[in-house]
Amino acid sequence: MNLIITMFQYPFIQRALIVGVLVSLCAALLGVCLVLKHYSMIGDGLSHVSFGALSVAVALGVSPLWISIPIVIIASFCLLRIRENAHMKNDAAIAVVSSSALAIGITVTALTTGINTDVSSYMFGSILVMNEQDVMISIILCVIVLALFILFYSRIFSITFDENFSKASGIPVGRFNALLSVLTAVTITLGMRMMGAMLISSLIIFPALIAMRLQRSFSGVIIAAAGKAAHLGGVLAAHTTLPVIGIPIKSSTLDGLDALLATVQMPSGIPVATVAINGAENAAILAVQMLALSDERLAQELVSMKEKMEKSVMEKDKKLQEELGC
């Protein structure tokens, strides 16, 4: 214990711990999205792009982060554009960009500074290279990455699991894919200072894979509320494999009966579980019951809720019996 306390008294250990925790948190959050979108190797490709940019920056004698971050962001946009156009498969595009950037980095290094301490630290990582300026830049950028991810979590979550459903819901899929690429590029560039170009991709992939091994399924339920013609539930159910719960909304025309019939009478193969008119509470409980099939905590919460409901009914019955003099 004394040895550990002594270690954390060194400033470079403190700087490494702060940046390491922040970068690891960013990488773990983004890694889940990248792995589920079958785009996990982008970390390896962008790390090599970052190494090439860092080699050029070291040769020019300028701050590596200010050069590498914009270049890696541009590379991530290029990879995203290649993925959308489908003229080249993802793995092939990443392999071309990765090998080209690595070749540029090694060539520039060989012709200028050689494999010195700075270049070696970017290839294999080193906590000794973290100075106060790097720490401040890393903290600011990591906070921005985490804030943007949390702010747009629902939309990023949606495009990760089902892009077709996201498009049907009006979410600008292209913009949020671009945002995901930018956040990944920034995280990889910051992480290279500690992990190096050779290992930074593991910080993206392994936490997500371990989490998927521990939690084997990702459950989700969609609740759609609509009135009058109320085709929303059916449209969503046609574009996703997730269960859809429909809530008919009362309108001024038929008091919600039109919405109820439209929601419940879906064509074969497009099931929508329908609750009562304006039955948002039952829809929420039904959604939790579905999710509780793979979540013990939710199952316990449901048991607790049922017990409270039973207790409430018994108290009301007792009060009524007392009023009636029974």
pLDDT digits (tens, 9 = 90+) for 141-166: 888 988 998 898 888 888 887 777 77
Q: Which structural domains are found in the chain, ordered by start?
A: 2-214 (1.10.3470.10), 222-324 (3.40.50.1970)
Checking if the pLDDT of 216 tops 70, the result is no
Q: How far is CA 124 from the centre of its chain?
A: 27
Say which range, 13-17, 226-230, 285-289, 305-309, has the weakest mean pLDDT: 226-230
SS3 call for 320: helix
CB 206 within 8 A of CB 35: no
CB 278 within 8 A of CB 267: no
Q: What is the DSSP string of 198-219?
A: TTHHHHHHHHHHHHHHHS----
For residue 103 the two structure tokens come to: 């070749």
Instruction: Using only the alpha carbons of the chain, give its radius of gyration.
Output: 27
Checking if the pLDDT of 86 tops 70, the result is no
The residue-averaged pLDDT of 83-107 equals 75
pLDDT digits (tens, 9 = 90+) for 16-46: 788 888 888 888 888 888 887 777 777 778 8
pLDDT band at 115 (very low <50, low <70, confident <90, very high): low
pTM over 0.75: no
Nearest to 123 by CA among 58, 79, 74, 168: 58
- Written in H, E and C, the secondary structure of 113-156 is CCCCHHHHHHHHCCHHHCCHHHHHHHHHHHHHHHHHHHHCHHHH
pLDDT at position 219: 60
pLDDT at position 253: 66
Query: Which residues have CB under 8 Å from 324's CB, separation 6+?
Result: none
Percent of the chain with pLDDT over 90: 0
Checking if the pLDDT of 301 tops 60, the result is yes
SS3 call for 313: helix
